[in-house]
Amino acid sequence: MDAAAVSQLVEEEIALIERPELAEAIRASLVLPRLESREWDYGEEGQTYPCWIVVEHKESNTGIAYCEQGFGPSSPWGLLVLEGPHRNMGTDAAWFRFLGDAVQESAVWNGDSPPDFEVR
């Protein structure tokens, strides 16, 4: 996988979003996909996986990444800390099946969720 493939995947995910305001929030926070190696706490000591950072929210020091390993492929979109001591992949509660779900649970989104919203 390369940055162009990740960008295409992000566009496909945005196309699935039915709420224009949520899609706009994602687009406003997109960054060029950047590959980072992040520690996986559930394997061997020092084990890492490649994570593509695609969304950044500098004010909260958080971002959203795409990763096919770890919690992926079932939940490949994860909320991550951008800088500082907690730069691992975190727990399964911070990983989602769809980019839109990850954004709704992130600091990027400050709008309301629909009454019937459920993480899929």
Q: Could you read off the pLDDT of 11-37 as tens digits, one per residue? A: 999 999 988 999 999 999 999 999 999
Mean model confidence pLDDT for the chain: 90
Contact 95/76 with Cβ under 8 angstroms? yes
Residue 69 DSSP one-character state: S
Nearest to 31 by CA among 46, 51, 59, 52: 52
Cis peptide before 115 (omega within 30 of 0): no
Q: What is the pLDDT of residue 109?
A: 83
CB neighbour burial string for 39-67, b if at least 16 within 10 angstroms, e if fewer: bbeeeeeeeebebbbbbbbeeeebbbbbb
What pTM was estimated for this model as a whole? 0.88
List, in order, residues 6 or more apart from 87 with CB less than 8 Å away. Answer: 38, 39, 80, 81
Q: What 3-state class would DSSP assign to 72?
A: coil
Could you report the per-residue pLDDT of 42-97, keeping only the tens digit for each?
888 989 999 999 999 999 999 999 999 998 789 999 999 999 888 899 888 899 99
List, in order, residues 6 or more apart from 72 with CB less than 8 Å away. Answer: 66, 95
